[in-house]
Amino acid sequence: MLNIVTQWIILLAAHSSLMSCRGICEDYRATKTRGLGRYASGQKRCQICDLFIMCDGNVCPCCGYRLRTKPRGQKYKQRIRAAAGAAP
């Protein structure tokens, strides 16, 4: 019977292999748009794969990590809010 520490190590090893880039994301790579920001145009960012992708859902199809759908910087957050407020 495995002790709790061994089970924890096995679980972490299995989890870390799921959360790594496998190169599938290249099929979903988004091109930069002119005029609109990336998030405003529907693109999402994967922090593990380190690129913007276009796909349905909030999970990266490559590594399974949650995608970022809003900017982190205050200046860019204000731009998104202003654009959303101006839209009917």
- Residue holding tokens 């949650």? 66
- Residue holding tokens 């992708």? 53
- Residue holding tokens 């090893």? 13
Which residues does 83 contact at the CB level (< 8 Å), separation at least 6? 40
Domain boundaries, the chain: 4-83
Q: pLDDT tens per residue, the chain (88 residues)?
A: 567 766 666 655 555 555 677 888 888 898 888 877 888 888 999 998 889 999 888 999 888 889 999 888 888 888 888 877 766 5
User: Would you report the helix, strand and coil content of the chain in percent, each value rounded to 5?
Assistant: 40, 10, 50
